[in-house]
Amino acid sequence: MMEEEEFEFTEDLEAILHLTPEVQLAIEQVFPSQDPLDRADFNAVEYINTLFPTEQSLANIDDVVNKIRLKIRRLDDDIRTVVRGQTNVGQDGRQVKEITRDIKQLDHAKRHLTTSITTLNHLHMLAGGVDSLEAMTRKRQYGEVANLLQGVVNVLEHFQKYMGIPQIRQLSERVKAAQSELGTQILADFEEAFPAQGSKRPGGPSNVLRDACLVANVLDPRIKQEIIKKFIRQHLSEYLVLFQENQDVAWLDKIDRRYAWIKRQLVDYEEKYGRMFPEEWCMTERIAVEFCHITKVELAKVMRTRAKEIEVKLLLFAIQRTTNFEGLLAKRFTGCTLTDIPGVRKRPDSPLDQTNPFLEDDPGEDVGSEKDEDLPRKPKAPDNPFHGIISKCFEPHLYVYIESQDKNLGELIDRFVADFRAQGPPKAGTEEGGAVLPSCADLFVYYKKCMVQCSQLSTGEPMIALTTIFQKFLREYAWKILSGNLPKSSSNSGGLTITSLLKEKEGYEAAKFNVDELCLICSILSTAEYCLATTQQLEEKLKEKVDKILVERINLTGEMDTFSTVISNSIQLLVQDLDAACDPALSAMSKMPWQSVEHVGDQSPYVTSIIMHIKQNVPIIRDNLASTRKYFTQFCIKFTNSFIPKFINHLFRCKPISMVGAEQLLLDTHSLKTVLLDLPSIGSQVLRKAPASYTKIVVKGMTRAEMILKVVMAPHEPAVVFVDNYIKLLADGNPETFQKILDMKGLKRSEQSSMLELFRQRLPTPPSGSDSGPSLSFSAPTPEQESSRIRKLEKLIKKRL
């Protein structure tokens, strides 16, 4: 039973003495110990095994037990001492609490006494200050009042919670009355010193008024505003008289006198009154700003009255002088007195680029030049807060400037046309040959100049009007300078028109463009490409400079499409010229007696003629389109797309054809295919691989021509094999094409009828649901397979030779 009770007591004790890790850590820090009995993770079994590691050590068990019992007795004594020591703690705590309460009462008494003394001192200061304030106000001792009034106001703030006391409320009312009297008195003093009309202004600053301004800083802000307003109005009253609308100096040609007058007035103010007003009032800037507001209204009024007399040079002169004055204000003042100036905005930075006028940065550029002294020359800095404060009044009259630019651009286009006629087209072999026309760069440089000028005058509707003018003359440049100068005929000896290039007339000797005309076409194409890219950049710049609300109204897509049309027409001219030069050779091919050819030789003369024309034209075109490589590739693709179908059409006209004749035609076709594959780099010292898109077109087209000849070479008996071979090689379900093949083989009509009927029967049935058509879908031979077949054919021909 004793053992069970001890075990239960031990469990209860462990439950009671279970401490949290934080408490255990704190105990270890206060009472550090190395004794295993003091550890939180004490294990009795491990501890006993430590005391008695072997059976022999059990001989000392009595000594160990005695030591542990001694330690237990000592712990009990320590616990008993601590418990007895805590018996009187409650009584001691109550005594301390009473002492603390007495100390708190003393602290409260001290605080209240201090507050009372402080309040009485403030009250004494307030009462004395109010008396002194009233006396100084009557004597106009503003210097002393300025310091005293601020102190009285500050002291009065401490009595806000005591306003229920009649004496305190009376003192507050006396302070308010003194402030009101000071405000009225100071305004009267300024009215007397600076009357609106009548006597002249005093010759120097007044110390009384200077101190009065210091007092006004403490009074109601409306007093300060009224002082500023009356002083500035009186200071600028002379300006309204001198520059009345009916005065000669009020007109735009004498606008310099307005700005010269205000400059003198500001200097006069600084000398006489600069120290009278506090520096934080910024009176000099306020006078200048009010002058600007008055000038804007007066100029708008006089321009409305005399609108018919405004000329562009006069308008630009006035704008230049005005924007220069606004720039001067920005250098002199910070703009801290401005609340909202319409039209003020910062222009975004743009990267520099020397290749295009619209990629250059604008802020550092001088808009004017030595030759254009009447134009604004750098009217504003990018961060000028005064921009537009006066010059905004000119915006309604900028239509004069827009009309002037319309006239100037019209004259510029006419001069371009005259210069082109006088100087003639660019000559081959010169630096101008194939290059961008100089007039193009001149046009866009002028455009940039106009755009910068107009954006500095206004970023609103005038910019939209200028954009419309730009669009008009971009189209005129495209029509008159570019499209209008594309050659309509070749040299005088040829007399071939563009219309005749589209006609195929057997036996007709087509005349070609000469080298200079080819260079001209390439030059116009390059110019159109430059115009296309630069017009896009012009649109982006216009959108940057115009107000955000108007951005959607700027659209130069139509003009870019116009230049794209010029590019397309130029390429088509080059294609038609080379295409027409090959027509006589193709006509000669179709007229040759292919049935009577007895042996296969080298390439036929018509092939040599075609290759000669290609070698004459293509290097010239490639060299002159070196800067526009993609358009040269387009030329090659368009020529191939035009030539190959035409070659196949002439191939069908070669009838009848013998086996040997078909072999010769196959050899010729392979020669043309080789030349066409090398077309982009023909005659060039630098061999460059043709674009994959171009190669694909050539291989596909010329492979069809080779397949046609292979079908012609195949025997038509048995008929089923022939028809199946045709369907396999050509993959063409059109009976007309099959009819042409039969004509080339020289079959009689009776034989052709049975063949056609068999052809229709052997055509594969199209899948259900698909549209039936003449074309079939077969896997055509790959270019590698066809090349291998051609090589075998060449070897066969060489053996027969």
Same structural domain for residues 420 and 548?
A: yes
- On whether the CB atoms of residues 170 and 134 are closer than 8 A, the answer is no
Query: Residue 130 — pLDDT band, cuts 50, 70, 90?
Result: low
CB 130 within 8 A of CB 179: no
User: Based on the domain organization, do 440 and 305 belong to the same domain?
Assistant: no
Helix axes 659-677 and 605-624, enclosed angle (nearest 10): 10
CB 605 within 8 A of CB 588: yes
**What band does 645 get if pLDDT is binned at 50, 70 and 90?**
very high
441 and 545 inside one domain: yes
Q: What is the average per-residue pLDDT within 372-399?
A: 65
- Is residue 303 predicted with pLDDT exceeding 90? no
Whether residue 355 has pLDDT greater than 60? no
Out of 55-59, 332-336, 480-484, the most confident range is 480-484
Q: Are residues 304 and 422 in the same domain?
A: no
Residue 682 domain flag: no
What per-residue string of b and e applies to 552-566 under the rule 16 or more CB within 10 Å gives b? Answer: eebebeebbebbeeb
Does residue 546 sit within a domain?
A: yes
Based on the fold, state whether residues 529 and 456 are members of the same structural domain. yes
pLDDT in tens, 472-512: 999 999 999 898 888 875 433 343 333 343 343 433 445 57
| Position 510, amino acid | A
User: Across 26-40, 166-180, 557-571, 715-729, which has the greatest mean pLDDT?
Assistant: 557-571
Distance CA 437, CA 524 (A): 7
- DSSP SS3 for 459: coil
In terms of domains, do 525 and 463 share one? yes
Q: What is the model's pLDDT at position 782?
A: 47
Residue 656: cis peptide before it, omega within 30 degrees of 0: yes
Domain end: 555, 580, 608, which one?
555
- φ, ψ of residue 458 to 5 degrees: the values are -165, 145
Residues 586-597, mean pLDDT to the nearest whole number:
88
pLDDT above 60: residue 634: yes
Q: Indicate if 247 and 299 belong to the same structural domain.
A: yes
Task: Take residue 470 and report the two structure tokens written for it.
Answer: 């730009």
Residues 155 and 227 in one domain: no
Q: Which of 436, 251, 448, 441 is nearest to 369 (CA)?
A: 448
Q: Which residues contact 143 (CB under 8 A, 6 or more apart)?
A: 207, 211, 214
More confident: 287 or 198: 287
Q: What is the mean pLDDT of the chain?
A: 75
Q: Which of 225-229, 399-403, 528-532, 544-548 has the lowest mean pLDDT?
A: 225-229
- Bridge partner residues of 369 (DSSP): 372
Q: Which residues on adjacent β-strands are paired with residue 489? A: 497
* 8 A C-beta contact, residue 585 and residue 609: yes
Burial class (CB in 10 A: 0-12, 13-18, 19+), 352: exposed
Domain boundary among 527, 555, 583: 555
| Residue 680 resides in a domain | no
Lowest mean pLDDT among 617-621, 702-706, 719-723: 719-723
Give the DSSP letter string of 196-238: SSSSPPPSS--HHHHHHHHHHHHS-HHHHHHHHHHHHHHHTHH
- Tell me the residue range of the domain where 532 lies: 392-487+512-555
Provide φ and ψ at 161, rounded to 5°: -80, -5
Please indicate, yes or no, if residue 466 is contained in any of the structural domains: yes
**Statement to judge: residues 106 and 243 lie in one domain:** no
Backbone φ, ψ for residue 497 (5° rounding): -90, 165
Greater confidence (426 vs 578) lies with 578
Q: What is the pLDDT of residue 565?
A: 93
pLDDT at 120: 66
Which tens digit of pLDDT belongs to each residue from 528-566?
999 999 999 999 999 988 888 888 999 999 999 999 999
Total structural domains within the chain: 4
| Ramachandran quadrant class, 424 (left: phi over 0; alpha: psi -120 to 50; beta: rest) | left
Res 118: pLDDT = 65
Q: Where are the alpha helices (DSSP H) in 604-688?
A: 605-624, 629-653, 659-677
Query: Would you say residue 786 has pLDDT above 70?
Result: no
Q: What is the pLDDT of residue 237?
A: 81
Residue 100 falls inside a structural domain: yes
pTM of the model: 0.62
pLDDT over 80 (residue 295): yes
Q: Determine, yes or no, domain membership for 733.
A: yes
The average pLDDT across 167-184 equals 67
Do 46 and 163 share a domain, yes or no?
A: yes
Tell me whether residue 249 is in a domain: yes
Is the bond leading into 278 cis (omega within 30 degrees of zero)?
A: no
What are the C-alpha distances in Å from 776 to residues 584, 727, 731, 732?
33, 8, 5, 6
Whether the per-residue pLDDT at 395 is higher than 90: the answer is no
Q: Are residues 40 and 168 in the same domain?
A: yes
**How far apart (Å, rounded) are the C-alpha atoms in residues 663 and 793?**
8
Instruction: Compute the distance between CA of residue 638 and CA of residue 646 in angstroms, rounded to an integer.
Output: 13
pLDDT at 638: 92
Task: Give start and end residues of each alpha helix (H) in 654-775.
Answer: 659-677, 692-713, 719-730, 735-745, 749-762
Average pLDDT estimate for 341-351: 37
Q: What pLDDT does residue 479 have? A: 92
Q: Are residues 175 and 73 in the same domain?
A: yes
- Tens-digit pLDDT profile for residues 64-105: 788 888 888 888 888 888 777 777 766 767 777 777 877 887
Lowest-confidence region among 123-137, 358-372, 395-409, 588-602: 358-372
Top-ranked range on mean pLDDT: pick from 214-228, 241-255, 270-284, 430-444? 241-255
- Residue 567 pLDDT > 90, yes or no? yes
Give the mean model confidence (pLDDT) for residues 664-669.
Answer: 90
- H helical segments located in 140-165: 142-157
Last residue within a domain, chosen from 523, 555, 587: 555
Q: Is residue 207 part of a domain?
A: no
Is residue 686 left, alpha or beta, with left meaning phi > 0 and alpha meaning psi from -120 to 50? beta
